[in-house]
Amino acid sequence: MKTGPAIALDNVSGNVQIRLTMLALNGDGTTYTGDDTIGVRTQLLFAPAITERNLTTPQTFWLNITSESAQAWQVFLNKTLSSRLGAGQYTISYSAATSTVSVRFASVNKIVVSYQVFQSDLDLA
């Protein structure tokens, strides 16, 4: 993964609340190979919108992630969800054929989604 996933989950009175921040990294395409440590400078460029939905009746919610890093997402989600939610509040499946991780959340009563764009540059000085 190029950046850590920004997902937060809370178990509130047996219902799931999901906060998901989608991140975009902009850069000049510079690449670096080697065995030295190199710094990365980042700056928030744009945070256009936040969408919040409070559901009056808890509902089933699906989160599907299709990515070249789907297996890394699966590992992250397994670890994160098992530490925050109880058994039966979610199920995770992975399809190697489509490089997709699917998470089924039961009893979701709140969803908050935001989007942020960052400028990222290597500190080669």
Query: Is residue 39 classed as helix, strand or coil in its secondary structure?
Result: strand
pLDDT at position 64: 94
pLDDT tens column, 81-99: 898 888 889 999 999 999 9
pLDDT at position 1: 42
DSSP for 61-81 reads: EEEEEE-TTHHHHHHHHHHHH
- Please report which confidence band the pLDDT of residue 102 belongs to, taking 50, 70 and 90 as the band edges: very high
Tell me the C-alpha distance between 90 and 48, whole Å.
Answer: 30
pTM for the predicted model, two decimal places: 0.71
